[in-house]
Amino acid sequence: MAAADSELPTPSFPLPSVEEVSRLSISSFAYELPAHQLLTYHRYVCSFLQIACDGFEKKADLTEDDIAFPMPASLQASTDEQQTSSSFFTGEADRSYTALPAASAENSLGAWTLKCSISTSEDDNATRPLYGKRVVIKDNIPMRGMPMYCGTSLAFTPLTDSPLVTRCIAAGATIVGKAQCEYMCLSASSHTSSAGPVRNPVAPDYHAGGSSSGCAALVASGEADLSIGCDQGGSCRVPGAMCGVVGCKPTHGLVPYTYIDGMYGPIDHAGPITRTVEDNALLLGVLAGWDGLDERASCTAKTTRKVNYCEGLRQGVKGMRIGVVKEGLMKPFMEEDVKRATEDSAQLLRQMGAEVGSVSIPLHFTSVAIWVLCVLPSVVQRLFFSRERDRLLGVDKDGKVYDRRSFLQEHLLAHVASWSFQFRIAMLAGEWLRVHFPESLKVAEVYKQPLIKSYASALLQYDVLLFPTTACKSKKLPTHLSTSHEYEHASAELLAEHAELGFGLTINTVCSNVTGHPALSVPVGGGMAAASKGGESSDGVALPIGVMLVGDFFQEASLYRVAYALEQARPWQSFLYCGGNSLATHPLIPT
């Protein structure tokens, strides 16, 4: 539905009172919020809802002086099926695994859920593209016979594999385990899993990003070569930026999402997280392509031919058009060294022969509001009110067979007191929208179309768009909460610390989830950790900074080409931005 901005409906619904938030929790989730926490819950539930109300009114007040890249002269004028065993590879060993408690000797980062070793021993294995590669799988992606927790304490053991698992095995990889993720994948920082926080390998007292937190941490630490994450708002790219690795969210539908825990079909994506751009391109080539089952795939995705994404990596960027998106560098959360690293990356691309300019996409700011309106009510509906059966079957810890959706409905409601704070406020906000603004999905879709068109217009002018991946670097982990006792007795101040840890991390990433465009984060340098009250931290910790590249639909090859050029031009570990002003040589982590 196309409409001028003036014709778009304005989201309108009442914000709940403190008492209404309390009653909503009891009536919908049979849980009474602790009295001393009510004001905190009310504050953050209303924050979510206020985003949905106000997000369409924010306009960019920008001038050409806000960013130092005038448009190049050359661009001035162009403005329920039968489930069968997925383990069909000759010689695949019996599946056994080792569960790894957080903070154990083998799990110092808290990034593993379990370890295993699954591969095929066919004779031609050495000729396959992923031969010798150790792959770890995010713990919302099913593996037959391996318990799946999705950041909770609820074990569900699938009876089949995700097609992504079978593709990796067929390509010669060894699956070495499942990676920890955030509670129901609803956190951009790595402190919400029931098992414990995932620590950043660059600085273990800091978070690793979320929700594919374990994937990025294990790849960055060298415990795995490749990982498969999922991305509904930045969950491959944010951990990539936080840990100094490469995270990709492909075009919507390019990589099948079959059987994977999702939130809302149009924003669900799976993608690779790796140490290098070349490895990322290699893994995407294995994962991409319709599987015949994924209903999220568009007609184009279903018919897109296989691409060798490694083929054009070394072509360089000479003649490519790179657009720095002004809105991507806007405050309030933008840290100066992150902005500087982004601008320096653009200058570096210009020095390598790219035509670099700036572009404004004012509707970029609406994406978070669209996400809130469509995703939160959809998650609530799916988890607690839908009666539709899921195609993925599995068993609980007692051996009872469930479809995945029925398992979550029954077991989540039986363990409401142990929900993470982030998940609880998201569910309360989503339930309020579901009840008081049932048109939220329709309104979100109306706003989504102009946003997609504005990106299409920018991508007619430029081959690739450039942003900071996140507006800020990683922050220190808070005191961990996981049990019902810990949550019920947590202070309001600690809950607020939990809520605010992820603020600002998805401002730039969520847009490409809403539009479906491919996006990739690549590390470009580091900056000193920020103090809690602003300025630099006194502990001397240096943290990675990533930039994000966005391209047209199914143009992942262009993103890899630009990312590879940045990666090869200088090792990101060697460049530290101090106070946003000076550039100094400083090793962050071993290359």
Give the H/E segment covering residue 214. helix 213-220
pLDDT at residue 5 greater than cutoff 90: no
Choice between 100 and 19, residue whose per-residue pLDDT is larger: 19
CA angle in degrees (0–180, nearest 5) for 321-322-325 = 140
More confident of the two residues 78 and 108: 108
Residue 529, SS3? coil
- Nearest one of 346, 362, 463 to 78, comparing CA atoms: 463
> What single DSSP character describes residue 295?
T
* pLDDT the model gives residue 68: 42
Q: H helices within 502-541, ranges in order?
A: 510-515
Residues that are catalytic = 138, 211, 235
The reported pLDDT for the residue numbered 446 is 92
Domains of the chain: 97-367+448-585 (3.90.1300.10)
Residue the block writes with tokens 């859920």 = 113
Give the separation between CA 175 and CA 180, rounded to whole angstroms.
15
- Check residue 64 and give its pLDDT: 37
Q: Let me know: does 309 contact 559? Beta carbons within 8 Å.
A: no
How far apart are the C-alpha atoms of 51 and 11, rounded to whole Å?
Answer: 10
**What is the residue type of 178?**
K
Using a 10 angstrom Cβ sphere, with 0-12 exposed, 13-18 middle and 19 or more buried, the burial of residue 563 is: buried
pLDDT in tens, 156-172: 999 999 999 999 999 99
Report whether pLDDT(502) > 90.
no
Q: Render 255-316 in DSSP notation, one character per residue.
A: S--TTS--S-GGG-EEEEEESSHHHHHHHHHHH-S--S--TT--HHHHHPPP--TTTTGGG-
Listed range (71-85, 106-120, 415-429, 445-459) with the worst mean pLDDT:
71-85
Q: Are 201 and 215 in contact (CB under 8 A)?
A: no
129/137 Cα distance (integer angstroms) = 18
Distance CA 505, CA 499 (A): 12
Query: Residues 520-560: pLDDT tens digits?
Result: 999 999 999 987 655 555 577 899 999 999 999 999 999 99
pTM exceeds 0.85, yes or no: yes
